Structure 1
Amino acid sequence: MLPAIIACEIGFWVLLLAGLTARYPLRAKTLSAVLLVCVPLVDVVLLALSVIDLRGGGQASTAHGLAAIYIGVSVAFGGQMVRWADQRFAHRFAGGPAPVRPPRHGREHAAHERRQWLRHVVAYVVAVAVMGLFTVLVGDYERVAPMWGPMGVWGIVVVIDFLISFSYTVAPRRARS
């Protein structure tokens, strides 16, 4: 299962870079559209591979948990990553405006950090939902227990992220003078 996760991560970036290369340097809009539409299909492939493995009697493992986490992060942050890369390609190859950087201080920075934390929570919830689906498909909690292992650590990370993100609301960063 771990090789499938790695292959999907590589596939995400290869399809994204190929799609943006087709869009900007090659000016092949149709090819670009096809390649960029395929980017989220990587998640579908990973989900399908995980389901096939588990339905086929495969032992649920930490790798299945990581697959669910990958899907959650992709759902929550994928669009943001695509926009980030698109801004840089447009600037470099099509004379587009300089990429927009997130705010670094003040209320705007605090609001940005809170939004990023909410994305983090969405990623966590999606991963839990996917693992719940895997658990239902397997039908035996003892067999899927190892898959849930990373969620405890990730839950702690979400709490720490909350404390850091919302600390900027209480004590916003000040601009350096």
Structure 2
Amino acid sequence: MSFIAWIIVACEIGFWLVIAAGLITRYIFNRKRIGLFFLALTPVLDLFLLIVTASDLYNGATATQVHALAAIYLGVSIAFGKSMIRWADERFVYYIKKQGTKPARRSGMAYAKHSLKGSLQHVLAFIIGGAFLYLMIYWIDDPDRTQSLSDMLKLWLLILGIDFVLSISYFIWPKPAKTK
């Protein structure tokens, strides 16, 4: 595995460690400001990943799928970060603190709307990550060195289309509620 791949793995682990530290500090130790500080560190990890990836390419590396994944990770982290933190927050309060209401399982139109909201976040992630992919392609200005970035951009666009088709399908064929 390449250096950039390890940085992506480290940033993902760091993301969840920072979230856990924020939630533990916030709810176990009742230190809301310090907890918020930890939660606010998540974009710092994204910035670090962007700097390392750009430096690697600037120093002459041929772009690989891993470099493309760094841009995708950045887009997804920015677009979905707040909702991932909210998801973790709700579950932490219910399962660890034994407070609040149990996070509900969605079905029917609620599930369809939630899925469409996720698809719209995916569009935002694509815009952000795609912009970074395009900027790296433009910056390097060598189609031989950036072919994998272009290929990943096309693949991501296909995946985004599939995501939308699936989300729309839930409006036509709603997800049934689980029966006990």
TM-score, normalized by length of structure 1? 0.89
Tell me the CA shift for residue 171 of structure 1. Answer: 3.0
Q: Distance in 1 between matches of 2:173 and 2:96?
A: 40
Preserved CA contact (<8 Å) 2:53 2:70:
yes
Tell me the CA shift for residue 38 of structure 1. Answer: 0.6
Mapping 1:57-76, distance limit 5 Å: 57-76=60-79
Preserved CA contact (<8 Å) 1:24 1:93:
no
Tell me the CA shift for residue 24 of structure 1. Answer: 0.9
Q: 1:98 aligns with which of 72, 96, 101?
A: 101
Q: Which amino acid aligns with 2:110?
A: E
Mapping 1:81-120, distance limit 5 Å: 81-105=84-108, 107-120=109-122
Q: Distance in 2 between matches of 1:4 and 1:135?
A: 21
1:50 aligns with 2:53: yes
| Number of equivalences | 176
Q: What residue in structure 2 maps to residue 38 of structure 1?
A: 41
The percent identity for this pair of structures is 35
Following TM superposition, the consecutive aligned residue runs of length 4 or more in structure 1 with deviations greater than 6 angstroms are: none
Q: What residue in structure 1 maps to residue 145 of structure 2?
A: 143
Mean Cα deviation higher: 144-153 or 16-25: 144-153
Preserved CA contact (<8 Å) 2:137 2:149:
no
Q: Distance in 1 between matches of 2:151 and 2:101?
A: 42
Q: Which amino acid aligns with 1:131?
A: L
Cα gap change, 1:112/1:154 in structure 2, threshold over 3 Å: closer, same or farther? same
Q: Distance in 2 between matches of 1:34 and 1:175?
A: 38
Q: What residue in structure 1 maps to residue 169 of structure 2?
A: 167
Mean Cα deviation higher: 35-44 or 90-99: 90-99
Q: Distance in 2 between matches of 1:73 and 1:29?
A: 26
What do you get for the CA RMSD once the two structures are aligned?
1.9
